[in-house]
Every structure is written in structure tokens, then in C-alpha cells.
């Protein structure tokens, strides 16, 4: 059984409400039913968000699946601010058994700054080409990556205070750049799928519009790095996209 895993935490730090991702979950549920996959949602954090951001907590996925008694072959770790096209091909059949992601086509200023900061403080001896840098919101793994995720979690707790300070000081993301470096540090075979499977930064690429151009050119829309208040614009686009494909039901 292949598994789609989505962290969908209902409350943020200080118990505040966070973004409504219900239409994303509904869309993924339909795709999973069509493709005979298991949908696994994390609704309660494993640690306080002050101690560990949700983005880092997703690397407990193998422990979560095994604790839940769920058999798995491949697992997609995907962000809740995504929407999958009903006709999206089965990407689990495209991995060749490798760790699989999509290059982060977006703000290269931010990506390169993030690479430089994490390189300086944590990964001095590792070169990370920006053109092989993947977005953390779409990662396909399998059982042979279980030890790697244990190493990722170990890295986090060894450096937690420094990681939190750097994230706060420089604004260069949480797990995404470290996971790119750690993939190289541990010599993990990486396969890249094309942009269509994780369409990031759609506003900058001029495909996020009222005609829903992104639905005509790709398979998975990722509503990240868009202008406006996230708690308003992300649910707006998720609902609009869902109703485009499925109507008002």
C-alpha cells in the first residue's frame, strides 16, 4: 500500500487557529481513493510547536505508520497547502526506488541565502547546487529511508537551539534547506520529478489567476509564496480549485 501523509495541525502556537486546509484534504482523499492509496493525516502535534515546527515533525512518519499498524510501501510527505489534480498520474510509479522530490522553482534569492546560511553554520564541507534543491512540501520515500529519517531527527535534537535561533534571526526556513544538505551528507540517491508535480510560487510564474491556469498545465498546485494573508488566500484558492474540479458538493 502506498501512503499519502499530510500534516494538518488545527492549532498553532499559543493555541491559535491556523489555516483551514479542508479542501486540500478532500481533494487528496478523492485522488487516494482513485489510486488505491492510504491517506494518513496528522492532526495533533507530537511536540509543542515552540519545541519543534510541524515541518520537522513529519520525519516521524515511519514511526507513526508503524504505531498505527499501517502497512506501507512508498510514502508521499506533502504539504496541506497543495491541491492534486483529479487526473494526476500515479507518481509512486515514477520513483525508481529513490528518494524523490521536485526542484524548488521559486525565489532563488531566498534559496541561495538559505543555502549560504545553513552551509556556514552546519554544513561547511558540503556543496549544495541550487538547481538540485528540492521543495520540502513534496517528498516520496520508502522503507529504505527509515534510517535516514532517524538521522534527520537526531540532527534536529543535536542542534535544536541553534536551528531555532537561525530560523528566527535570518528567516531562511525550517527543515527544507537542512534536508537538502542531509540528503547529500548521507549519500541518498535523489530523483527529481518535473515542476508539474509540485508547482510552487505560482504567482511569480503567472499561472495563479482567475482562469486557474495552473489546473491546465500541471498536476499538483502548491499555494505557497503567494501575496496576501495566508489564513485568507490559501483557503480561498483551495476552495476555488476544489469547486472547479468537483462542483459545490
The answer to whether residue 14 scores a pLDDT higher than 80 is no
Degrees, nearest 5: CA angle 23-238-230:
115
DSSP 178-241: HHHHHHHHTT--EEEE-GGGSB--TTTTT--STT-THHHH-SEEE--S-SS-HHHHHHHHHHHH
Please report the pLDDT score of residue 248 as a whole number.
78
Residue 107 has pLDDT above 80, yes or no: yes
Predicted local confidence at residue 16, as pLDDT = 55
What residue spans define the domains of the chain? 2-246
Which of 13-27, 35-49, 180-194, 195-209 is least confident?
Answer: 13-27
178-237 pLDDT, tens digit per residue, is 999 999 999 999 999 999 999 999 999 999 999 999 999 999 999 999 989 999 999 999
Contact status, residue 6 vs residue 83, Cβ threshold 8 Å = no
How many CB atoms sit inside 10 A of residue 181's CB?
19
Output the nine-digit C-alpha cell for 113.
541565502
Supply the mean pLDDT for the chain.
95
- The pLDDT score that the predictor gives to residue 241 is 98
Give the pLDDT band of residue 17 (cuts 50, 70, 90): low
Instruction: State the CATH architecture for 2-246.
Output: Alpha-Beta Complex (3.90)
DSSP state at residue 25? H
What confidence tens digit (pLDDT) does each residue in 55-86 have?
Answer: 999 999 999 999 999 999 999 999 999 999 99
Does the CA dihedral 195-235-33-45 come out positive or negative?
positive
% pLDDT > 70, the chain? 97
Amino acid at each position: 500500500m502506498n501512503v499519502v501523509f499530510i500534516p494538518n495541525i488545527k492549532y498553532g502556537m499559543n493555541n491559535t487557529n491556523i489555516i483551514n486546509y479542508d479542501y486540500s484534504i478532500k481533494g487528496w482523499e478523492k485522488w487516494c481513493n482513485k489510486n488505491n492509496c492510504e491517506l494518513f493525516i496528522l492532526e495533533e502535534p507530537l511536540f509543542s510547536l515552540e519545541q519543534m515546527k510541524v515541518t520537522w515533525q513529519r520525519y516521524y512518519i515511519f514511526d507513526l505508520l508503524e504505531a498505527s499498524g499501517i502497512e506501507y510501501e512508498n510514502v508521499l510527505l506533502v504539504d496541506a497547502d497543495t491541491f492534486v489534480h483529479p487526473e494526476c498520474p500515479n507518481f509512486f510509479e515514477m520513483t525508481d526506488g529513490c528518494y524523490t522530490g521536485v526542484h524548488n522553482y521559486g525565489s532563488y534569492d531566498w534559496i541561495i541565502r538559505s543555502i549560504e546560511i545553513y552551509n556556514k553554520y552546519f554544513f561547511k564541507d558540503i556543496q549544495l547546487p541550487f538547481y538540485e534543491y528540492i521543495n520540502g512540501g513534496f517528498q516520496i520515500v520508502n522503507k529504505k529511508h527509515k534510517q535516514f529519517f532517524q538521522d534527520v531527527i537526531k540532527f534536529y535534537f543535536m542542534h535544536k537551539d541553534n536551528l531555532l535561533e537561525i530560523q528566527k534571526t535570518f528567516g531562511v526556513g525550517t527543515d527544507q534547506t537542512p534536508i537538502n544538505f542531509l540528503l547529500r551528507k548521507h549519500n541518498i540517491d535523489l530523483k527529481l520529478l518535473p515542476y508539474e508535480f509540485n508547482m510552487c510560487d505560482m504567482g511569480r510564474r503567472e499561472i495563479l489567476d482567475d482562469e486557474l491556469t495552473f489546473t491546465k498545465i500541471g498536476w499538483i498546485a502548491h499555494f505557497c509564496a503567494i501575496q496576501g494573508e495566508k489564513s485568507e488566500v490559501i483557503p480561498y484558492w483551495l476552495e476555488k480549485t476544489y469547486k472547479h474540479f468537483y462542483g459545490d458538493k
